[in-house]
A and B are shown apart, each in its own frame.
Chain A
Amino acid sequence: MAESVLRPAAEVLFREELDALAAADTHPKPRGFRLSPRMIRTFILGSGDAKLPRPGGEGEIAVTQKFFGDDALVERAIVTLASPRALLLVGEPGTAKSMLSELLAAAATGTSLLTVQGSAATTEDQIKYTWNYALLLAKGPVREALVPSPLFAAMREGRIARFEELTRCPVEVQDSLVGILSDKVLRVPELEGEDGILFAREGFNLIATANARDRGVNEMSAALRRRFNFESVRPIRDPFVEMALVEREVQKQLAAAGASVPVPRDAVELVVTTFQELRAGRSREGVHLDRPEAPLSTAEAIATLHAAALHAHYYGTGRLGAEEVASHLAGAATLDAAEDTAKLERYVETVVRDRAARHGGPWGALLEAWRNIGRAR
Chain B
Amino acid sequence: MNLEGVGAPAETRAEVAKRLGLSSALAFFPVRHQSPTCAAKLEAFLPSFAPDVILVELPARFEEHLEALLDPESRAPFALCAMTESKSPRFVARRDGSRAPEAPRSRAYYPFCDYSPELVAMRFAKASGAEVRFIDRLDPFGEVETDAGEDDLPSAEQALGERLGRDAGAWFGRSRFTAALCARAGVRDFDELWEALFEQGSWDESPEGWALAVGTYALATRRTFGQEELEADGTLFRERFMAAKIAESAAQKGKRVLVVAGALHVVALGAARETLPELRRAPKDDAEAVVRLVPYTFPRLDALLGYAPGMSGPAFYQHVWEARAEADPFAQAAERVLLETIRRARAEGDALGPADAIAALAFARELASLRGRPRIGRAEVIEAATSCFVKGELRVAGRRVVAALGEALRGSRMGKLGPTAGPSAITRDFRETAEALGLLPSAGPPRGIELSLATSRKARRCSWFLHRTTWLGLGFATQIGAGDAEEGAEGGPKPQASTELEAATERWTVAYAPEVDARLLDLAAEGASIEEAAARLLARAAREGEGRAGAIAACVGRGVRMGLEGVCRRLTPALEAAIGADEDPRSLLEAARKLRRVRAMRARLGLPRAAWLDALGRAAYEEGTRRLGRLAQTSGARAVEVPPLLADLGGATLAGDGMGPARELLLAKARAAREIARATSPLVLGALDGLLVSLGEGRGSELGAHFEAARGRPEAKGAYLEGLLALSPRALLDEPSLLEALVAHVSSGSFEGFLASLPSLRRALARLGPRELEEISSRAAKVLGLGASEARIVSPLPPEEVARLSAWELRWLEAEAAWAGPSAEPNR
A residues with CB within 8 A of B: 37-38, 41, 71-72, 75-76, 78-80, 82-85, 90-91, 212, 216-218, 222, 225-226, 228-232, 281-282, 286, 288
Query: Which B residues touch A85, using CB under 8 A?
Result: 359, 388
Q: Which residues of B contact A282 (CB under 8 A)?
A: 580
The stretch among B329-337, B391-399, B639-647 that forms the contact with chain A is B391-399
Which of A222, A228, A232 gathers the greatest number of chain B CB atoms within 10 Å? Answer: A232
Contact of B366 among A82, A91, A230 (CB under 8 A): A82
With A75-B371, A76-B367, A229-B387 as known contacts, state yes or no: A217 contacts B580, CB within 8 Å: no
How many whole Å from A132's CB to the nearest CB in chain B?
Answer: 38
- CB < 8 Å neighbour of A217 from B186, B362, B392, B395: B392
> B residues touching A (Cβ–Cβ < 8 Å)?
186, 188, 351, 359, 362-363, 366-367, 369-372, 383, 387-388, 390-397, 576, 580, 619, 623
Docked-complex contact A83 and B383, CB < 8 angstroms:
no
Q: How far is the CA of A91 from the CA of B392 in the complex (A)?
A: 10
- Which of B362, B372, B395, B580 is within 8 Å of A232, CB to CB? B395
Once the chains are docked, how many angstroms separate the CA of A79 from the CA of B366?
6
A-B contact pairs, 6 of them (CB 8 A): A82-B366, A83-B363, A216-B393, A217-B397, A222-B351, A288-B623
Question: Is there an interface contact between B392 and A218, defined as CB atoms closer than 8 Å?
Answer: yes
Q: Chain B contacts of A222 at CB under 8 A?
A: 351, 391
| B391→A75 contact, CB < 8 A | no
Q: A84-B359, A217-B392 are in contact. List 20 more A-B contacts (CB 8 A).
A: A37-B366, A37-B369, A38-B370, A41-B370, A71-B186, A72-B383, A79-B363, A79-B366, A83-B362, A91-B393, A217-B391, A217-B393, A217-B397, A218-B392, A222-B351, A225-B391, A226-B391, A230-B397, A232-B394, A286-B576
Would A229 and B580 be within 8 Å (CB), given that A72-B383, A85-B359 are in contact? Answer: no
Q: Please tell me if the beta carbons of A37 and B370 are within 8 angstroms of each other in the complex.
A: yes
Q: Are A231 and B580 interface neighbours, CB within 8 A?
A: no
A282 CB → nearest B CB, Å: 7
Tell me which residues across on chain A come within 8 A of B351, comparing CB atoms.
Answer: 222
Q: Quote the shortest CB–CB distance from B43 to chain A (angstroms).
A: 33
Say how far B393's CB is from chain A's closest CB, in angstroms. 5
A228 near B367 (CB under 8 angstroms)? no
How many contacts A-B (CB < 8 Å)? 71
CB distance from A198 to the nearest CB of B (A): 25
Known A79-B366, A229-B387, A288-B580; judge A90-B392 contact (CB<8 A).
yes
Residue contact B392 to A75, C-beta cutoff 8 Å = no
Which residues does chain B contribute within 8 Å of A72, judged by CB atoms?
188, 383
Write out the residue numbers on chain A whose beta carbons fall within 8 Å of the beta carbon of B372. 38
Please tell me which one of the listed residues A38, A218, A229 contacts residue B388 in the complex, with CB atoms under 8 A apart: A229
CA of A128 to CA of B580, assembled, Å: 48
6 cross-chain pairs, A with B, having the tightest CB-CB distances, nearest first: A225-B391, A232-B394, A79-B366, A37-B370, A229-B387, A217-B392
Bound: A154/B186 CA distance, A: 32
Per the bound structure, the CA–CA distance linking A228 and B372 in Å amounts to 25
> How far in angstroms is the closest Cβ of chain B from A86?
12
* Shortest distance from the beta carbon of B548 to any chain A beta carbon, whole Å: 17
Measured CA separation A72–B192 after assembly (Å): 12
Chain A residues within an 8 Å CB radius of B396? 216
Question: How many angstroms between the C-alpha atoms of A232 and B396 in the bound complex?
Answer: 10
A80 touches B391 (CB 8 A): no
Per the bound structure, the CA–CA distance linking A80 and B370 in Å amounts to 12
Cβ distance A238 to chain B, nearest Cβ, rounded Å: 13
Complex contact B391–A228 (CB within 8 A): yes
- Smallest CB separation, A30 vs chain B (Å): 9
Give Cα A79–Cα B367 distance, bound, in whole angstroms: 6
Chain B's closest residue to A281 (CB) is: B580
Overall SS of chain B's interface: helix
Shortest Cβ distance from A105 into chain B, in angstroms? 18
Q: Using Cβ atoms and an 8 Å threshold, which residues of chain B touch A79?
A: 363, 366-367, 370, 387
B391 neighbours in A (Cβ, 8 Å): 217, 222, 225-226, 228, 230
Assembled-state Cα–Cα distance A117/B388 (Å): 25
Contact residues in A for B362 (Cβ distance below 8 Å): 83
Within the complex, what minimum Cβ distance (angstroms) separates A106 from chain B?
18
Minimum CB–CB distance from B363 to chain A (whole Å) comes to: 6
Residues of B within 8 A of A212 (CB): 393
Tell me the nearest residue of chain A to B367, going by C-beta.
A79
Given contacts A79-B366, A82-B366, A85-B359, contact A230 B392 (CB under 8 A): yes
Determine the distance from Cα of A72 to Cα of B580 in the docked complex, in whole angstroms.
30
Q: Is A75 a contact partner of B359 (Cβ separation < 8 A)?
A: no
Query: Contact at A218–B397, with CB atoms within 8 Å?
Result: yes
Give the Cβ gap from B387 to chain A, nearest Cβ, in Å: 5
Task: Give B132 Cβ to nearest chain A Cβ, in Å.
Answer: 43
The interface residues of chain A lying within 8 Å CB-to-CB of B395 are 232
How far, in whole Å, are A231 and B396 apart by their CA atoms in the complex?
Answer: 12
Which A residue sits closest to B382, measured CB to CB? A72
The distance in angstroms between the C-alpha atoms of A225 and B388, with both chains bound, is 11
Interchain CA distance A90-B390 in the complex, whole Å: 12
Residues of B within 8 A of A41 (CB): 370
Contact of A75 among B367, B393, B394, B623 (CB under 8 A): B367
Residue from the list A83, A91, A230, A281 in contact with B359, Cβ < 8 A: A83
Judge whether A90 and B366 touch: CB under 8 Å.
no
Chain A contacts of B623 at CB under 8 A? 288
Most B CB within 10 A of own CB, among A75, A212, A228, A229: A229
Give Cα distance in the complex from A91 to B391, angstroms: 13
Q: CB-nearest residue of chain B relative to A217?
A: B392
A76 touches B387 (CB 8 A): yes
**CB proximity of A36 to chain B, nearest CB, Å:** 9
- From residue B192, how far is it (CB to closest CB) to chain A in Å? 10
- Selected contact of B390 from candidates A38, A82, A230, CB within 8 Å: A230
Q: Report yes or no: B387 in contact with A80, Cβ–Cβ below 8 A.
A: yes
Among the interface residues A76, A212, A225, which one has the most CB atoms of the partner chain B within 10 A? A76
Chain B residues with CB under 8 Å of A91's CB are: 393
By the criterion CB–CB under 8 Å, are B370 and A75 in contact?
yes
CB B587 to nearest CB in A, in angstroms, measures 16
Which of B367, B395, B623: most chain A CB closer than 10 A? B367
Shortest CB distance A306–B (Å): 29
Residues of the A chain whose Cβ atoms lie less than 8 Å from the Cβ of B186:
71
Cα of A83 to Cα of B363 in the assembled complex, Å? 8
Within 8 Å CB of B363, what residues of A? 76, 79-80, 83, 229
Alpha-carbon separation in the docked complex, A33 to B30 (Å): 44
Known: A79-B367, A82-B366, A281-B580. Is A90-B188 also a contact (CB below 8 A)? no
Highest count of chain A CB atoms <10 Å: which of B367, B371, B383, B391 = B391
Q: Whole-angstrom distance from the CB of B315 to the nearest CB of chain A?
A: 23
Closest to B369 in A: A37
Tell me how far the C-beta of A89 lies from the nearest C-beta in chain B, rounded to whole angstroms.
11
A230 partner residues in chain B, CB cutoff 8 A: 387, 390-394, 397
Bound state CA distance, A226 and B353, in angstroms? Answer: 11
Instruction: Tell which of A75, A79, A228 has the most Cβ of chain B within 10 Å.
Output: A79
Shortest B401–chain A CB gap in Å is 11
Q: Which B residues touch A75, using CB under 8 A?
A: 367, 370-371
With both chains docked as a complex, state the minimum distance between the C-beta of A209 and any C-beta of chain B, in angstroms: 12
The CA-CA distance from A17 to B354 in the complex, in Å, is 41
Least distance between B243 CB and chain A CB atoms (Å) = 42
Tell me, rounded to whole Å, the shortest Cβ–Cβ distance linking B124 to chain A: 39
CA distance A209 to B90 in the complex (A): 52
Residue of A nearest to B383 (CB): A76
Report the separation of the CA atoms of residues A282 and B186 in the bound assembly, to the nearest whole angstrom.
31
- Contact partners of B367 in chain A: CB under 8 A: 75-76, 79
Residues of A within 8 A of B397 (CB): 217-218, 230
| Cα distance A286–B579 in the bound complex, in angstroms | 12
Q: How far is the CB of B755 from chain A (nearest CB, A)?
A: 47
* A139 CA to B801 CA, complexed, in Å: 92
Given the interface contacts A41-B370, A78-B370, A82-B366, does A225 sit within 8 Å of B383 by beta carbon? no
Within the complex, the shortest CB–CB distance from B646 to chain A, in Å, comes to 22
Measured between C-beta atoms, what is the minimum distance from B726 to chain A in Å? 30
Distance, CA A230 to CA B580, complexed state (A): 29
- Asked if A90 and B370 make an inter-chain contact with CB atoms under 8 angstroms apart, the answer reads no
Q: What is the bound-complex CA distance between A216 and B392, given in angstroms? A: 9
